[in-house]
Amino acid sequence: MPHILSVLIFLPLVGMVLIMLLNKERHLAIRWTATVFAALTFVVSLVALGLFSSRAAGMQLEVSVPWIQAINVSYHLGVDGLSMPLIILTTLLTLLCVIYSWRIDDRVKEYMAFFMLLETGMLGVFCALDFFLFYVFWEVSLVPMYFLIGIWGGPRRQYAAIKFFLYTLVGSLAMLLAILVLYFFAEPHTFDMVELARQMPMATAGGIWAALVFWGLFLGFAIKVPLFPFHTWLPDAHVEAPTAGSVILAGVLLKMGTYGFIRISLPIVPHECQRFAMYIAVLAVISVIYGALCAMAQKDMKKLIAYSSVNHMGYVMLGIAAAVAAVDASDLVTNRVTALNGATLQMFNHGIITGALFFLVGVIYDRAHVRDIDAFGGLAKQMPIYTGLMMMACFGSLGLPGLAGFVSEFMVFVGAFGTYPLMTALSVLGIVITAAFFLMMIQRVFLGELNVQWRALKDMDAGELAAIVPLCVIMLLVGLYPAPIIDMINTSMQGLIQTLSTTMELVMQSGIPLG
């Protein structure tokens, strides 16, 4: 029987092949093929979730088969409490994006094929436990997004696509150099992440090569997050990307960066993560406040949400920095676990909430062909269903209690305060600013008198509701009862923190100073 993670990863690729075999004029068949394979992939991810145990800290559903034996590369897959929520997020958002994209009429065959390839790349990143395999999937996910922006994007799509590609490629090359250093320092040479996590912390702790590995990985992941000041590609990419492209970009691709920090940097170079944690925390706080202030200055709704992503991903990085900053202090174990739990949950929640926001901006843009906040007014009277869903997504993003965003941000603040009280307090300002710009947008777009120019606008149709309502339901469920997903995350984060603590105790005993 095929391994379930292999089926999960390559099922969309089978869909892509079938789509490419169809005549390009058969739009309906192409759309149905993409939808069916996206739905099947989502179902397989739910089956994997059913086989997953929240009580097990290590890797589950593992498969490891020799692949390129000359350089000791293996086909190694596995999932834990970090990757499982992101896999569900990826398959769900991809399915909803395909459903929403039935309205695409230009080059439908290529569009759907790229989406299937993109899903394979993203799922591969979250399942791969071999660096060679991880890097292949990382690069595979870059190519289809480049074409989705460059072909189906807005007026400046080529500029945005090239900028996105070049930024991400620079980060990928820095990460590749770090991977090569890790490979040659390992004895025996290996690309296996689990084995490298076991070997490398003691082999390179405190050395110049370890610092170079850390900064190489840091650059690759920080650009993807994106962390200030590596964020400048994001607003352009979001504004020019088609609606579904923006949803996947914010909902999943940004998470690959923060996932990399937790999956790779923390266990493989923990000494360096602890050594440079303050720098990461400072950049995280800047991202939180700067992203919120930039969002407040925007008139374009899509660019506003793009900058809000910089703000919200800053909370994730603050949680990661706080979790590793004091790995030698046993009395802060609970806080560190809470910070990592909050960061991981924030990755999931941000994908759900921001995905809904970009869908909703796409709905109004498809009708009005404008995203200027000041161009609207009084839409609550004309589009009541749309207004209700948009307000719910905005309140979720600004951290209203009862919705998903509040839970994860609160956990990050609780976990980070013991380590970085001042920076945590400064980060809370991001919530205030976020509330301000979302409330201003709601007031200008939905309240007051209806702009006569938009009297003919129709409310949301069935296809749009099918893509957006599930995200709003999850937003509410996680906000009211987050225990199931937190339980899934918590065991793995406890295991990671325990491993880091043990490693740092050994480093201290070896005489290498911490910090």
pLDDT digits (tens, 9 = 90+) for 389-446: 999 999 998 888 989 989 999 999 988 888 888 999 999 888 889 899 889 999 888 8
Measure Cα distances from 329 to 28, 333, 417, 446 in Å. Answer: 60, 7, 15, 50
Tell me what pLDDT residue 126 has.
93
pLDDT(326) > 70: no
Question: How far is 236 from 248, CA to CA, in rounded Å?
Answer: 15
Q: Which of 329, 380, 369 is nearest to 508 (CA)?
A: 329
Give the orientation angle of helix 157-185 with respect to helix 208-224, to 10 degrees.
150
Q: What is the pLDDT of residues 84-106, one digit of tens each?
A: 999 999 999 999 999 998 888 88
pLDDT(512) > 70: no
98 CA to centre of own chain:
18
Q: Which residues contact 162 (CB under 8 A, 6 or more apart)?
A: 150
Q: Which residue has the higher pLDDT, 56 or 326?
A: 56
pLDDT(233) > 70: yes
Q: Is 2 exposed, middle or buried (0-12, 13-18, 19+ CB in 10 A)?
A: exposed
pLDDT(120) > 70: yes
Q: Which residues contact 271 (CB under 8 A, 6 or more apart)?
A: 201, 205, 206, 210, 503, 504, 507, 512, 514
Largest CA distance in the chain: 74
pLDDT(298) > 50: yes
Token reading at 33: 């093929």
Interval 327-351 mean pLDDT: 80
My answer on whether omega of the bond before 229 falls inside 30° of 0, hence cis, is yes
Question: How far is 459 from 151, CA to CA, in rounded Å?
Answer: 28
* DSSP H or E segment with residue 16: helix 4-21
Average model confidence (pLDDT) across the chain: 87
Q: What is the pLDDT of residues 383-405, one digit of tens each?
A: 899 999 999 999 998 888 989 98
Q: What is the pLDDT of residues 456-480, one digit of tens each?
A: 888 888 888 998 999 999 999 999 9
Question: How far is 244 from 148, CA to CA, in rounded Å?
Answer: 9
Tell me what pLDDT residue 154 has.
81
Question: How far is 460 from 441, CA to CA, in rounded Å?
Answer: 19
361 CA to centre of own chain:
19
- Residue written as tokens 């596995």? 78
The C-alpha angle with vertex 140 and arms to 105 and 117, in degrees rounded to 5, equals 35
Q: Which of 88, 493, 479, 439 is nearest to 251 (CA)?
A: 88
Q: What is the pLDDT of residues 5-53, one digit of tens each?
A: 999 999 999 999 999 998 888 888 999 999 999 999 999 999 999 998 8
Q: Which of 164, 7, 145 is nearest to 87 (CA)?
A: 7
Q: What is the pLDDT of residues 197-217, one digit of tens each?
A: 887 655 555 578 888 888 999
DSSP 294-329: HHHT-SBHHHHHHHHHHHHHHHHHHHHHHHHHTTT-
pTM over 0.75: yes
Q: What is the pLDDT of residues 477-487, one digit of tens each?
A: 999 999 999 99
Tell me what pLDDT residue 514 has.
46
Query: For residue 130, what are the β-bridge partners?
Result: 192
Measure Cα distances from 487 to 81, 216, 405 in Å. Answer: 8, 32, 17
479 CA to centre of own chain:
19
Measure Cα distances from 134 to 72, 230, 259, 292, 407 in Å. Answer: 14, 22, 12, 32, 31
Interval 129-143 mean pLDDT: 92
Measure Cα distances from 391 to 339, 380, 441 in Å. Answer: 28, 10, 10
Dihedral class, residue 356 (left if φ above 0, else alpha if ψ from -120 to 50, else beta) = alpha
Radius of gyration in angstroms for the set of CA atoms belonging to the chain, rounded to a whole number? 22
Q: Is 22 helix (H, G, I), strand (E, B) or coil?
A: coil
Interval 142-158 mean pLDDT: 88
Question: How far is 433 from 287, CA to CA, in rounded Å?
Answer: 13
Question: How far is 165 from 237, CA to CA, in rounded Å?
Answer: 10
Q: Which residues contact 172 (CB under 8 A, 6 or more apart)?
A: 135, 138, 139, 142, 220
- Residue written as tokens 């190519």? 143
pLDDT(515) > 50: no
**Residue 509's pLDDT band (boundaries 50, 70, 90)?**
low
Q: Which of 400, 382, 384 is nearest to 438 (CA)?
A: 400
Token reading at 298: 């925007």
395 CA to centre of own chain:
20
* DSSP H or E segment with residue 78: strand 73-79
Interval 256-262 mean pLDDT: 92
Q: Helix H segments across 369-461?
A: 379-382, 384-397, 404-417, 421-446
pLDDT(451) > 50: yes
Q: So where are the chain's domains?
A: 276-515
**Residue 506's pLDDT band (boundaries 50, 70, 90)?**
low
pLDDT(59) > 70: yes
For residue 57, what is the DSSP state?
-
